[in-house]
Amino acid sequence: MAIKLSNRCKLIKPSPTLSMTAKAGQMRAEGIDVINFGVGEPDFNTPEYIKKAAHEAIDANFTRYTANPGIIELRKAICDKLERENGLVYTPKDILVSPGAKASILNVLIAVCDVNDQVLMATPYWVSYPYQALLANAEPVYIPTREENGYKIEANALAQSIKESPCAKVLILNSPNNPTGSVYSRRELEEIAKVCVENSIVVISDEIYERLVYDDVEHISIASLGAEIKQQTVVINGVSKAYAMTGWRLGYAAGPSPIISAAGRVQGHYTSCVNSITQKACVTALNNEDGTIEAMRKEFWQRRDYIFDMLMKIPHLSCKKPQGAFYVMPNIQWYLANNKAGIKDAYEFCDQLLEKHHVALVAGGAFGQDGTVRFSYANSMDNITEGVRRFAEFLNEIKA
């Protein structure tokens, strides 16, 4: 008997970043020297002080279910962090701890979206945002951006998208940004906030990379820009990127208690609480931070400078210098238009680069921005040097 899948599921495609990582991993298992710039996770180990706290939780037999929204100790630590670092005052009832920031976003979307509501997002976007909107029975709507502006949403473009989208309800904002590394300035956020308040748009502010900013750039949460925008913003954050804890699976949402309460009811019926040991470790991560986190940020900063300088020496590439996260997304359109290999788009480009030169990148089309590729510089300097060398060699080989 043929099983008919749901129409919703038919719209969901595999994650391109995970697919590229899996393919690179298979080639490595076959003994091929693959340099992987596709994976979006730090290459550092979780700091020792955090691991120690996890061992202590296990030894204390803290291994049972916890309260669905997270242990009170952790939610208080999150409130303290948000007030200390972001100027945001919340209480524990305004916090929902979830198994990863992905789950945090989906919980909120399901809590606020009805069928046919529209979720606005920039192009390029993080690969999961459109599918999360679809899983919430909403429609993703893409806001065009400009390369010269770092692919950031501009207030006038946002206002126009809202005008053209009669069921617009949510804006997903991501700063520092994946895939571009762009960071929104205070002025840019103030202009976006004004449009959202005027149009009663709920903002989901994905700030998972907030600690990873460089130069004199400051991370600003849009929720900190006034009482009105705070009342319609849910801040998404977690420990995966800055604390090198991707496999621990902990994210959180902070926002108006009616939204957080509804999102908690959603979570209670499909994942329930985050594992207890991770929660205990994260209390220590937030409350007892040592110099390890800052040392990792400074290393990413050096790598950002290094890979950007290398890429900008390659003819016919263009790119805005990333200000945060650990990604850089150069424009390769000249090579797509002027190559003798018959390569028509960035997907074909990345496939051939992996097959012939054993370098894994993610095609910009995965983020809604064809003609680009994304590098993750969460990688060693040696790998960056050799990987960019191979990338440049491939470009030279295919150019017409």
Q: Which domains does the chain have, with CATH numbers?
A: 7-45+292-398 (3.90.1150.10), 61-287 (3.40.640.10)
Helix count (H) and strand count (E) of the chain?
15, 12
> Strand 362-363 vs strand 35-36: parallel, antiparallel, or unpaired?
unpaired
Q: pTM higher than 0.85 for the full model?
A: yes
Q: Cα(349)–Cα(193) distance, rounded to whole angstroms?
A: 38
Examine the pLDDT at 378 and tell me if it is beyond 90. yes
What pLDDT digit, counting tens, does each position of 120-169 carry? 999 999 999 999 999 999 999 999 999 999 999 999 999 999 999 999 99
E strand map for the chain: 35-36, 95-98, 118-122, 139-143, 168-174, 202-206, 233-238, 251-254, 327-328, 359-360, 362-363, 373-376
Q: What percent of the chain has pLDDT over 70?
A: 100
State the pLDDT at residue 327.
98
> Helix or strand or coil: residue 235?
strand
What pLDDT digit, counting tens, does each position of 85-117 carry? 999 999 999 999 999 999 999 999 999 999 999
What pLDDT digit, counting tens, does each position of 156-184 carry? 999 999 999 999 999 999 999 999 999 99
What pLDDT digit, counting tens, does each position of 205-258 carry? 999 999 999 999 999 999 999 999 999 999 999 999 999 999 999 999 999 999
State the pLDDT at residue 23.
84
State the pLDDT at residue 337.
97
